[in-house]
Amino acid sequence: MLSDGSDVTVEEGEVEETACKCCGAPTTVVNGFLRAGAYHAGWYTVGVTLNAPGHLPLLRLYIGDWGAEAGPRERWGFRIGIDSDGPQLVDWPDADKAEAAPVFTPLDRAQVLGTPMEPQIFTLVDAILTQDSRL
């Protein structure tokens, strides 16, 4: 990230109504983009399945170089579960890791917590949760 987060802004994207992959319950997925000043800082999706026990909101955050010349080593994805204690990094399921590998590097909790990337990720998550009017 190119800033301390004070200039991060959210640009709301599309809303999709779909069905939960595991139980079929109605699920709303919103997406958006992050900017740090004039720079593209990343993009995200947030899926919310209402009235389905055990289904917490899940934020997927993607950062890095998404230009045509970049590969999976320059792009990273994070899963953040949101519960009553707030946002928390969660690991990627193995099937999702395999699917993502050709496009981006999915990072698990242990690969982020305690690293310089951790505060940057949570700065972006805070921006999403406070600035996206649909959440």
pLDDT digits (tens, 9 = 90+) for 29-56: 999 999 988 888 899 999 999 888 888 8
Q: Which residue has the tokens 């909790």?
A: 109
Q: Per-residue pLDDT for 1 more than 50? A: no
CB atoms within 10 A of CB 14: 9
Q: In the chain, where are the structural domains located?
A: 8-128
Structure confidence by residue, pLDDT tens digits, 60-105: 999 998 888 999 999 999 999 999 899 999 999 999 999 999 999 9
pLDDT score recorded for residue 3: 52
Query: Hunting for tokens 């193995």 — which residue is that?
Result: 94
pLDDT at site 4: 60
pTM score of the predicted model: 0.90
